[in-house]
């Protein structure tokens, strides 16, 4: 019988029947894993408290012979990430990260960059808590990995580099529109500097969160652009979005937001 072993982050976990659990995990080298953990709620020895969202584990499993569920055999806890429970905004943003990752990671392929991104994002949130910059960087990189990134440095229609300071941003064309191509009804205005900042952020490794700082305009405009790109792609809203908005509304104001 085939046995696989890999590091994995639990994205989703739900009880099944009397004693079992079904989990969705993102593995470092095996892509998305949907696994069935028999007796997980009774056999503390094999799984303990390991199969909870956010946890970084070493998982051992048998791939499915038919159907889509692997059979989980053992889980060793590497990091339960209790630091994410420091406050509501952090927990909400981490949950948003899990759901967005699950929705934007196709099944059946390796996604080592997706794993590296999510792992670094959760580590960062656990260490310093939620902040708008971390959210934007995470969305930006995941949108890029999913192949959904709008045009940032060139006109989405004619591909000419921008010479303007402000351009309309067209969700339909997926990018900014230069003055020659603009019709006056293309979309909300966005600073070309914002597009340049987003582009520069993409040159940093996906695991770097701590050393990047973004201004209020970039956070606001960039957030709108990425939000629109995600909304156009997702067939239904994220369940975690409402919780995230609620937690944000209760969060103290970030002094850098001004
Ligand atoms: Zn153009």
pLDDT at residue 100, rounded to an integer: 96
C-alpha 158 – ligand 1 centre gap (Å): 4
Give strand pairing partners of 25.
Answer: 10, 33
pLDDT at residue 254, rounded to an integer: 54
CATH architecture of 4-80: Beta Barrel (2.40)
Render 154-167 in DSSP notation, one character per residue.
B-TTT-PBP-SSEE
Positions of the chain with pLDDT lower than 50, given as ranges: 257-258
pLDDT at residue 252, rounded to an integer: 60
pLDDT at residue 50, rounded to an integer: 86
**Contact 109/31 with Cβ under 8 angstroms?**
yes
C-alpha 99 – ligand 1 centre gap (Å): 36
C-alpha 222 – ligand 1 centre gap (Å): 21
Helices and strands in the chain: count of H runs, count of E runs: 6, 8
pLDDT in tens, 109-139: 788 999 999 999 999 999 999 999 999 999 9
Q: How many CB atoms lie within 10 A of CB 87?
A: 14
* SS3 (DSSP) at 93: helix
Q: How many CB atoms lie within 10 A of CB 80?
A: 18
pLDDT at residue 170, rounded to an integer: 92
pLDDT at residue 257, rounded to an integer: 46
pLDDT at residue 255, rounded to an integer: 55
pLDDT at residue 24, rounded to an integer: 96
pLDDT at residue 180, rounded to an integer: 96
pLDDT in tens, 83-96: 999 999 999 999 99
C-alpha 53 – ligand 1 centre gap (Å): 45
pLDDT at residue 232, rounded to an integer: 86
pLDDT at residue 172, rounded to an integer: 87
pLDDT at residue 256, rounded to an integer: 54
Specify the DSSP class assigned to residue 151. Answer: B
C-alpha 195 – ligand 1 centre gap (Å): 15
**Contact 226/145 with Cβ under 8 angstroms?**
no
C-alpha 191 – ligand 1 centre gap (Å): 16
Pairing, β 70-79 against β 166-170: unpaired
C-alpha 154 – ligand 1 centre gap (Å): 8
* SS3 (DSSP) at 175: strand
**Contact 32/105 with Cβ under 8 angstroms?**
yes
């Amino acid at each position: 019988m085939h046995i696989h072993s890999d590091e994995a982050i639990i994205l989703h976990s739900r009880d099944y029947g009397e004693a079992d659990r079904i989990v969705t995990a993102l593995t470092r080298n095996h892509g998305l894993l949907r696994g069935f953990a028999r007796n997980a709620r009774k056999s503390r020895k094999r799984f303990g408290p390991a199969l909870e969202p956010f946890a970084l584990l070493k998982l051992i499993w048998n791939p499915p012979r038919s159907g889509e569920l692997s059979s989980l055999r053992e889980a060793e806890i590497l990091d339960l990430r209790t630091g994410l429970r420091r406050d509501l905004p952090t927990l909400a943003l981490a949950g948003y990260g899990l759901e967005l990752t699950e929705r934007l990671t196709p099944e059946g392929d390796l996604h080592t960059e997706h794993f590296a991104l999510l792992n670094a994002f959760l580590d960062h949130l656990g260490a310093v808590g939620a902040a708008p910059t971390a959210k934007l960087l995470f969305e930006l990189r995941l949108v890029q990995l999913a192949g959904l990134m709008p045009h940032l440095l060139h006109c989405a229609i004619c591909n000419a580099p921008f010479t303007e300071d402000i351009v309309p941003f067209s969700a339909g064309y997926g990018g900014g529109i230069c003055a020659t191509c603009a019709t006056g009804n293309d979309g909300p205005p966005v600073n070309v500097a914002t597009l340049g900042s987003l582009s520069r952020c993409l040159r940093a490794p996906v695991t770097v969160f701590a050393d990047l700082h973004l201004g209020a305009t970039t956070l606001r405009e960039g957030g709108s652009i990425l939000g629109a790109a995600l909304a156009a792609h997702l067939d239904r809203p994220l369940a975690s979005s409402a919780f995230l908005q609620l937690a944000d509304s209760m969060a103290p104001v970030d002094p850098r937001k001004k």
